């Protein structure tokens, strides 16, 4: 990606692409275009961010690119610009995802892939962390006497991040799994996120097909390295990985495969022309010569992993596994809760929610609806609801169309209902779409993909239609509130559009899961508060029960996650606990448990985050003249932050 011999980054002049990037950060895309085209020869930002230099500017930029520059800018905003560029500029896949350089029509990075996993990547990250710690461990007021409160908060957020990233546990992260494995992320990058508008884009696309083969070989090398500390996912999870890779390889062997279809369809949509045959042949040739061998090598490595893996599912089996899990909980929840505390919080919350299920069904029975029986145990009530066909979508293409349309209508409905609770709303649109097939097996029931920074791609609420049996109509309102409006779409889009925040905070939307997922679950609670789940008569309905099934899912997660990773529960014990306390079917619960196995601590972030937001709100509601809309605006205006910083900022002297 970076070449000292030719003074280039992504095959572009290093100083030029760096200066253009700074102009984009400062919202001057025209200046970025002019610099990139050669019309503007102003490279002053290099000295502002990287320090005065008496030698070649390209070499200064290339040295910084590799992490060899310790200059501290005189302006904290310039420091934040430098941080953003260090975290994004060096990763072309991240830049493609957020559409950063595309805002100025720059697309050279789209021909490259990230150099993760590799020693080069790890060494660059270490140098960045060391530099950031050195700067921010100083009193920031001494470095920048005129620092503002907002800038100081950003310093706190960045310092928290670097301190708690704990590099000593990077070797414990599973190199491949069914949830975030590169085998599915690569296909998402090459289909949904691909930019194919002209012949130059096609050439870059082919380069990424070729690079994919090399990247999968690096994934295999990473698997071998991490095997030493026991970072091998459980057998049940690896079998799902193998199945997905086999499906992808089967597709790639066909002439009309997903990559060829993506290139031809996007090219025609942008240009109106048919993609020339020579480009189609070049894509197929690159797939055959590079991508298929690399992916086949990866599949062989996964099969070998399956042979040496075990049925033990907790990370406590790893070297220093207990310390690693403590780190995961700290990182994912951004709190200091211990595994024991989280386990007990989960059990108590589960019992309280089961009581609410019985109360709702009892009221429904009193109103003449006897579909469910309040005299049954709560999990029997819920199991009866899950098994009732009237609450299900059809299998097959028609059912997939129905669920998308159903959620599109719910999105419109809740957007109207919450309008008065948010004075500041995002500019980005939100759409509902099917999750790509390559990500469906073992993937989440739904997730949100943020828009590009220039809003050319909207925020998307993806629904996994790979297994329609996992979706229940009464759960769709709660799911929509969580993933779209006012959940992740409002939170992430508001953050990305908030120009008061430095770019490094606007971009990293998925950091601080305690806040992000806590907000999503809070929005499910908020939807219940405003009557979104009630029927036309104003009574609690099956949608209310659907909401409680999700509440149970999040509270039982606290028990299952800590049970697996701290108390050495077997997979079967965790499955049985969740079946007995949610009423969900075994297939859905197995998928949930397998997710917790490979993402230790992440499932705890939802309920812990919701509880913290509600706790902060309860304290502020005691203030005279409390305004809920103002509370939401202030909270979302902070961007994504660790929960302990959120509490400090929200409880500051300014009234809500």
Among the ranges given (157-171, 187-201, 264-278, 303-317), the one the predictor scored with the smallest mean pLDDT: 157-171
Q: Residue 7 carries which DSSP code?
A: T
Distances (CA, A) of 57 to 4, 16, 44, 78, 428: 12, 10, 10, 18, 37
Smallest Cα–Cα separation from 36: which of 99, 104, 131, 84? 104
Integer Cα distance of 213 and 158 in angstroms? 35
Average pLDDT, the chain: 94
d(CA 335, CA 160): 11
Lookup: tokens for 115: 């150099």
Mean pLDDT of 491-510: 87
| The predicted structure's pLDDT at residue 265 | 97
Predicted local confidence at residue 1, as pLDDT: 73
Helix (H, G, I), strand (E, B) or coil at 22: helix
Pairing of the two strands 12-13 and 8-9: antiparallel
Closest to 477 (Cα-Cα) out of 468, 487, 469, 467: 487
Q: Which of 531, 536, 539, 575 is nearest to 557 (CA)?
A: 575
Domain residue ranges in the chain: 1-165, 167-311, 331-609
At 20, phi and psi to the nearest 5?
-60, -40
Identify the band that residue 72 occupies on the pLDDT scale cut at 50, 70 and 90: very high
Residue 54 has pLDDT above 80, yes or no: no
SS3 26: coil
CB 12 within 8 A of CB 57: no
In this prediction, residues 287-308 reach a mean pLDDT of 97
Query: Which pLDDT band, with edges at 50, 70 and 90, does 655 fall under?
Result: low
With CA atoms as reference, report the closest residue to 115 among 236, 269, 2: 2
Question: Does the pLDDT value for residue 3 go beyond 80?
Answer: no
Helix/strand/coil for 8: strand
First CA to last CA distance, the chain = 48
Residue 653 has pLDDT above 80, yes or no: no
What does the pLDDT look like over 31-50, one tens digit per residue?
Answer: 999 999 999 999 999 999 99
**Does 600 have pLDDT greater than 70?**
yes
Asked whether the beta carbons of 262 and 191 are under 8 A apart, the reply is: yes
High-pLDDT (> 90) share of the chain, % = 84
Q: Which of 640, 572, 295, 592 is nearest to 464 (CA)?
A: 592
**Average pLDDT for 336-343:** 98
Mean pLDDT of 398-418: 97
Report residue 4's pLDDT band, with 50, 70 and 90 as the boundaries: low
Please tell me the predicted confidence (pLDDT) of residue 166: 76
Q: Give CA–CA dist 615/273, Å, rounded.
A: 57
| pTM assigned to the model | 0.93
Query: What would the DSSP string read from start to end of 587-647?
Result: HHHHHHHHHHHHSTTGGGHHHHHHHHHHHHHHHHTTSTT--HHHHHHHHHHT-S--HHHHH
**Element housing 578 (H / E):** helix 571-582
Assigned token pair, 214: 């090399």
pLDDT band at 23, cuts 50/70/90?
A: very high
**DSSP letters of 455-494?**
SSS-EEEEE--S-GGG-BGGGHHHHHHHHSTTTHHHHHHH
Where b means 16+ CB within 10 Å and e means fewer, 26-42 reads eeebebbbbbbeeebee
For residue 433, the cross-strand partners are 462
What pLDDT does 56 receive? 87
Predicted pLDDT at 217: 97
How would residue 65 be classed by pLDDT, with cut points 50, 70 and 90? confident
What's 435's DSSP letter? P
pLDDT for 138 equals 84
User: How far is residue 279's CA from residue 371's CA, in Å, rounded to a whole number?
Assistant: 59
Residue 5 — pLDDT band, cuts 50, 70, 90?
A: low
- Tens of pLDDT, residue by residue over 95-119, are 998 888 999 999 999 999 999 888 8
Q: How many CA atoms lie within 13 A of 630 on its CB side?
A: 10
Partners of 152 in the β-ladder: none
| 3-state DSSP percent of the chain in helix, strand and coil, to 5 | 65, 5, 30
Locate the DSSP E strands across 390-442: 430-434
CA 382 to chain centroid, in Å, comes to 30
Least confidently predicted of 133-137, 375-379, 451-455, 624-628: 451-455
pLDDT at 532: 98
What's the confidence (pLDDT) of residue 475?
A: 97
d(CA 270, CA 268): 5
Cα–Cα–Cα angle for 191, 447, 305, nearest 5°? 70
- Count CB atoms within 10 A of the CB of residue 549: 20
């Amino acid at each position: 990606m970076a070449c000292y011999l030719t003074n280039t980054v992504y095959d572009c002049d290093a100083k030029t692409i760096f200066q253009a990037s700074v102009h984009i950060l400062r919202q001057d895309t025209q200046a970025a275009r002019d610099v990139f085209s050669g019309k503007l020869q102003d490279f002053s930002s290099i000295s502002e961010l990287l320090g005065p230099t008496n030698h070649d500017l390209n070499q200064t930029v290339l040295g910084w690119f590799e992490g060899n520059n310790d200059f501290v800018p005189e302006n904290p905003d310039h420091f934040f610009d430098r941080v953003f560029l260090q975290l994004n500029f060096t990763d072309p896949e991240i830049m493609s995802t957020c559409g950063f350089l595309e805002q100025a029509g720059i697309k050279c990075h789209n021909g490259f892939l990230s150099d993760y996993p590799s020693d080069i990547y790890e060494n660059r990250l270490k140098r960045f962390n060391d530099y950031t710690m050195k700067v921010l461990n100083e009193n920031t007021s001494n470095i920048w006497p005129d620092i503002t409160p907002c800038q100081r908060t950003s310093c706190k957020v960045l310092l928290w991040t670097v301190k708690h990233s704990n590099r000593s546990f990077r070797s414990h992260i599973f190199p491949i799994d069914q949830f975030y494995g590169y085998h599915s992320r690569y296909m998402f990058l090459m289909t949904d996120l691909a930019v194919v508008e002209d012949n130059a884009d096609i050439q870059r696309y082919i380069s990424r097909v070729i690079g994919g083969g090399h990247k999968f070989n690096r994934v295999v090398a990473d698997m071998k390295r991490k095997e030493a500390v026991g970072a091998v996912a459980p057998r049940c999870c690896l079998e799902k990985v193998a199945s997905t890779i086999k499906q992808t390889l089967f597709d790639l062997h066909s002439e009309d495969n997903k990559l060829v279809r993506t290139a031809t369809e996007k090219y025609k949509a942008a240009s109106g022309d048919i993609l020339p045959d020579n480009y189609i042949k070049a894509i197929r040739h690159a797939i055959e010569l590079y991508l298929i061998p690399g992916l086949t090598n990866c599949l062989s490595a996964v099969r070998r992993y399956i042979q040496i893996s075990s049925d033990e599912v907790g990370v406590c089996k790893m070297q220093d596994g207990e310390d690693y899990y403590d780190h995961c909980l700290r990182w994912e929840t951004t709190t200091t809760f211990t595994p024991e505390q989280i386990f007990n919080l989960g059990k108590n919350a589960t019992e309280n929610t089961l009581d609410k299920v019985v109360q709702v069904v009892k009221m429904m029975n009193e109103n003449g609806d006897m579909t469910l029986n309040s005299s049954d145990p709560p999990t029997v009530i819920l199991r009866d609801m899950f098994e009732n066909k009237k609450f299900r979508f059809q299998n097959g293409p028609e059912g997939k169309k129905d669920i998308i349309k159903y959620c599109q209508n719910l999105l419109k409905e809740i957007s109207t209902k919450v309008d008065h609770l948010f004075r500041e709303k995002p500019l980005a649109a939100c759409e509902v779409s099917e999750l790509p097939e390559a990500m469906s097996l073992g993937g989440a029931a739904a997730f949100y993909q943020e828009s590009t920074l220039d809003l050319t791609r909207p925020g998307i609420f993806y629904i996994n239609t790979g297994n329609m049996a996992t979706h229940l109509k009464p759960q769709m309102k709660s799911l929509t509130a969580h993933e779209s409006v006012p959940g992740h779409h409002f939170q992430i889009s508001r953050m990305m559009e908030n120009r008061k925040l430095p770019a490094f905070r606007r971009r990293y939307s998925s950091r601080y899961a305690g806040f992000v997922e806590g907000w999503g679950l809070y929005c499910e609670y908020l939807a219940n508060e405003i009557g979104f789940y009630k029927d036309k008569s104003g009574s609690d309905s099956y949608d209310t029960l659907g909401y409680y099934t999700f509440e149970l899912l999040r509270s039982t997660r606290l028990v299952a996650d800590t049970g697996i990773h701290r108390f050495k529960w077997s997979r079967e014990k965790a499955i049985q606990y969740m079946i007995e306390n949610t009423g969900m079917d075994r297939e859905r619960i197995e998928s949930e448990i397998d997710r917790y196995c490979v993402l230790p601590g992440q499932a705890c972030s939802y309920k812990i985050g919701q509880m913290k937001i509600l706790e902060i709100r309860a304290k502020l509601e005691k203030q005279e003249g409390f305004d809920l809309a103002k509370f939401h605006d202030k909270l979302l205006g902070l961007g994504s932050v660790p929960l302990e910083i959120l509490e400090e900022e929200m409880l500051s002297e300014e009234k809500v």
